[in-house]
Amino acid sequence: MDPITVLLDEVLEDIRPLRDGAPAGYIPELAAADPEHLALAVVGPRGRVRAVGDIGHEFTIQSISKPFVLALALADRGRDAVLRKVGAEPSGEPFNAISLEPGTGRPANPMVNAGAIATSALIPGDGVDDRTSRIAAGLSAFAGRSLWVDEQVYESESATGDRNRALAHLLRSHGILEGSVDVAVETYFRQCSLLVTVRDLAVMSATLAFGGVNPVTGERVVEEVVARDVLSIMTSCGMYDFSGEWLLRVGLPAKSGVSGGLLAVAPSQFGVAAFSPRLDVHGNSVRGIAVLETLAERFGMHTLEPHDSVAIPAFTVEDTDDGRVLRLAGELGLAGTERVVAVLRELAESLPQGAEVTVDARDLGRTHSAALVALRAEFEQMPHGIRLRE
């Protein structure tokens, strides 16, 4: 494994002994999930996917679909039209609470169930199948591969979804939901039943991190302003009534799902996702939160930490009698090591026999500890003739 993957694996193994929480019990198919599954994936700016743990295991996306369906609605309708139907304020209440604005009947935000149902209803389409196809196509573009519905989970959700139907009828009574309640709710159940892996979630997260461009496929999925608006709402509302403490501890826009998935976005740096089915009282993955909190501490991910840039350093290349010098300046974060290593390999390949490449890191204003560990480890695997000056 490459050095960064080794670091991710160490984090995962540190968290593995945690056994608190239990799989979601109110949806029979989710209650039967193996609680021992655990996975982690990170996608950087060049589209490289690093994943550890049960990376091939598929699970349903559940509420992690909400920010991406919001992105589709914003792209199709525009911000003002969406805000007429759903608010953008944290509710401070559980995900299935009745959080409707007095007077207007708007749900508090698109991340709670009432708001997500209202948002899904904004996606155009004739009937459940047509709307589901549009949503699946949109989320597949975020993931970089085709996603499809787990029919067993969908049937289980539909059979136990009376509270969501009640929320939809309330929305209809306020004029927030137009058209058939059944179509709106069944579409919502089907979007939540799309199958993903932890890799898919990390790619979806990275697409938001890089302004709506999928770094794996190179496809622009949504415009930058749409990605920015989605991340803004995720920051304050993505973790339900744990959102404030999450922002304090981890400091990244995030979204969780009751199947055990959790993704977070480091804007302009990388997308990250974890999976573990045991949930806490808020409906968030216990080990997923622990993994992301550990990553935030070790890798300096908190968005409110002082940053000189997006943690990708500026650099210049100078020719010398002995070879070339790569001078780094600014800030070096974990995502920046990937860019530095790529430049180094290009320089090393172009040098004549016996010449050297020196990396001068003395002008770096700030270096994240994990980035320095990863960079040193990368040096050990590089050809002879490359040295680091700190």
pLDDT value of position 387: 64
pLDDT value of position 298: 79
Q: Is residue 258 a known part of a binding site?
A: yes
Do residues 16 and 35 touch, judged by C-beta distance below 8 A? no
373's tokens? 């560990």
User: For residue 251, which phi and psi values (nearest 5 degrees)?
Assistant: 75, 30
Q: Which one is catalytic: 42, 230, 258, 341?
A: 258
Hey, how many other C-beta atoms are within 10 angstroms of the C-beta on 103? 7
Torsional sign, CA 376, 382, 387, 389: negative
pTM of the predicted structure, to 2 decimals: 0.85
The answer for 256, left when phi > 0, alpha when psi is -120 to 50, beta otherwise, is: beta
pLDDT value of position 297: 83
The distance in angstroms from the start CA to the end CA of the chain is 25
146-169 average pLDDT score: 95
pLDDT value of position 203: 98
Collect all residues with Cβ–Cβ distance below 8 Å to 344 and sequence separation of at least 6.
Answer: 326, 357, 359, 382, 386
258 as an active site residue: the answer is yes
Q: Which of 109, 108, 132 is nearest to 120 (CA)?
A: 132
The answer for 175, left when phi > 0, alpha when psi is -120 to 50, beta otherwise, is: left
66 as an active site residue: the answer is yes
Hey, how many other C-beta atoms are within 10 angstroms of the C-beta on 81? 12
Mean pLDDT across the chain: 89
Q: Which one is catalytic: 69, 82, 240, 255?
A: 240
Q: Which one is catalytic: 42, 63, 120, 185?
A: 63
Hey, how many other C-beta atoms are within 10 angstroms of the C-beta on 332? 26
The answer for 98, left when phi > 0, alpha when psi is -120 to 50, beta otherwise, is: beta
Q: Is residue 188 a known part of a binding site?
A: yes
1's tokens? 């494994």
d(CA 139, CA 261): 15
89-114 average pLDDT score: 87
65 as an active site residue: the answer is no
d(CA 135, CA 132): 5
Q: Is residue 240 a known part of a binding site?
A: yes
